[in-house]
Amino acid sequence: MTTRIIAKEMKRRLLLVSNSTLHGGGYLEHCQQQIKDFFGQGVKTILFVPYALSDRDGYAKTARDKFKSLGGGNTFRLLKSLYDNKVLSEINKRVLQDGVPYMGSSAGTNVATVSINTTNDMPIVYPPSFTAIGLVPFNINPHFLDTDPNSRHMGETREQRIIQYHEEPDTPSVLGLREGSMLLVEGNKATLLGTCKARLFIRGKPTTEFESGSDLSFLLTD
């Protein structure tokens, strides 16, 4: 599957959200205005892909009742179903070449990237590959959590796990999206939106923090 095309042909429009539900609010409530702005008034039909949960009818109803969303649930289940239904290449083509808008939250954001290697989800099923749709040339870690200095938990922090990922050769950059944050991609321009900062991990370099509103277009270059 080809995951990149030359810049002058890039028509992608992506809204990649860290989380579907934010504490204190309902399903997609925290990003409702961004969703409205993203799809605009002219969009009458949205294709919702409910593969991330086993109860697909119930999940579709939740999205339908809220009116707009793409993605969420378990990343491994979502990617496996995309492979099983042979739609990865078609989504890639429709988004990158035809300009069909793509929105994902949580798992839907994970599968929009290079691979799902940096997901937080358990591998409850096993897809043929961890290679994802490839709408952007980097990975995202939704629900990114900062290290709690007062915690007695002795397991790896989210940051440590991403750094371990970058111990492997030829691994792409990872954008840690905290809950309440999202990335808007329009062609070759990427902008951080939402209420939180994001943390960027680049192999071999110190981590960097970016404020909401930051231009992250440099992540879209090879």
pLDDT of residue 1: 45
Mean pLDDT of 37-52: 68
Spot the catalytic one: 18, 69, 105, 121: 121
34 pLDDT more than 70: yes
pLDDT of residue 7: 42
Q: Does 95 map to a domain?
A: yes
At 62-92, the pLDDT tens digits run 666 555 444 667 999 999 999 999 999 999 9
2 pLDDT more than 60: no
Q: Does 216 map to a domain?
A: yes
pLDDT of residue 200: 98
- Residue 65: active-site member: no
Q: Does 3 map to a domain?
A: no
Q: Does 2 map to a domain?
A: no
pLDDT band for position 21 (50/70/90)? low
Q: Does 207 map to a domain?
A: yes
Spot the catalytic one: 89, 143, 212, 214: 143
More confident residue, 17 or 142: 142
Spot the catalytic one: 20, 69, 106, 181: 106
Name the pTM for this structure: 0.79
131 pLDDT more than 90: yes
CA 165-167-168 angle, 5° bins = 80
More confident residue, 103 or 31: 103
- Residue 106: active-site member: yes
129 pLDDT more than 50: yes
Q: Does 39 map to a domain?
A: yes
Q: In this structure, what CATH number is given to the domain that contains residue 17? A: 3.40.50.880
More confident residue, 21 or 129: 129
Domain count, the chain: 1
Q: Which domain holds residue 60?
A: 9-220
Here the tokens at position 73 are 């649930």
Q: Does 4 map to a domain?
A: no
16 pLDDT more than 70: yes
Q: Does 1 map to a domain?
A: no
- Residue 143: active-site member: yes
pLDDT of residue 17: 87
